[in-house]
Structure 1
Amino acid sequence: MWQFVRRMLPELLFHEVFELACEGRCLSGSTWDHILGYRNASKANPETVLFLRCCMIPAVGAVTKLARFVGQPLISPDEEEAGVVHGGHC
């Protein structure tokens, strides 16, 4: 959100945008409604909308999920079976 907002309103400081986000406010309305809309779209259309949560730690879990979503596996099936990359999912 910070990267998007600062292009439109470069005078806003990071902490101001952060506070607005914590209050649930953004340029397009409620931050939480915006996020929930993408989450619901992901559940309804998982083949076209990917919703990644910040709790996907280590990040390799999120990267692996993203790679699969775009059809470009991060590693080969043999490497995956051998456990070459270990990722966390929520």
Structure 2
Amino acid sequence: MSTHASYAVLPASITENSECKIIYIHRQPKDMLISYWHFMKPKLGEDYTATSISDVWRSISEEKYFGSPIWEHILGYWYASKTKSDSVLFLQYDELLHNPVKNVEKIAEFIGQPFSDAEREAGIVDAIVRLCSFEMLKDLGVNRTGFTGVGNARVPNELFFRKGTAGDWVNHVTPEMSESLDRFLSEKFHGSGFSLQ
């Protein structure tokens, strides 16, 4: 199952006494903001095109991002990964991009299917990384055509794949806004033990 729901709203059948494995991929909030902004623009048309990035951030920070503030969304999964490490794996998107082999191995271990030395030597891990790469998935016909239902809207599948990079926020967010977002998130994460670094 794939979801954007916060950990707090997941049913107990998933979070309590369950054999379900949850893999949460955390994205730097500024990159998430830009990705969300680009995703919503074509979906909502001209009305949304005029919406500024700061307006989108305001809506995300005011509990309008899938039912909870973004910091609560992140911290919910992060805390769960610390207290229920056998059932919740917290991964950083940037780290997935920089070290995909290490992270595929970490995921395999987490789900109880670690790779053998023979599989590593045969290039199985590298093949999985290649087959699951952003470029490979973006080029699949199913992801270039058709639509997916999101709420009451039909969203072209191609909108789910834009750049797949980290750090694109620097091309859209002013230095002043970046500093403001950093201060805001630092305040929200203060005392949690979680860091965006």
Gaps of 5+ in 2: 5-35, 126-196
- Residue 30 of structure 1 is matched in structure 2 by 69
Which whole-Å CA distance do the structure 2 matches of 1:63 and 1:21 have between them?
A: 34
Change beyond 3 A, Cα 1:59–1:72: same
Q: Report the number of matched residues.
A: 75
- Which of 66, 76, 89 aligns to 2:116? It is 76
User: How well do the aligned residues superpose, as a CA RMSD in angstroms?
Assistant: 3.5
Gaps of 5+ in 1: none
State the one-letter code of the partner of 2:84. Answer: N
Which whole-Å CA distance do the structure 2 matches of 1:77 and 1:21 have between them?
A: 49
Query: Considering only CA atoms, is the larger Rg found in Structure 1 or Structure 2?
Result: 2
Which whole-Å CA distance do the structure 1 matches of 2:76 and 2:70 have between them?
A: 10
2:88 is paired with a residue of what secondary structure?
A: coil
Change beyond 3 A, Cα 1:60–1:33: same
* Higher RCO by CA contacts (8 Å cutoff, separation 6 or greater): 2
- TM-score (normalizing by structure 1): 0.57
Which whole-Å CA distance do the structure 2 matches of 1:22 and 1:64 have between them?
A: 36
The 8 Å contact of residues 42 and 49 in structure 1, kept in 2 or not, is answered as: yes
The 8 Å contact of residues 21 and 31 in structure 1, kept in 2 or not, is answered as: no
Answer 1 or 2: which has greater helix percent: 2
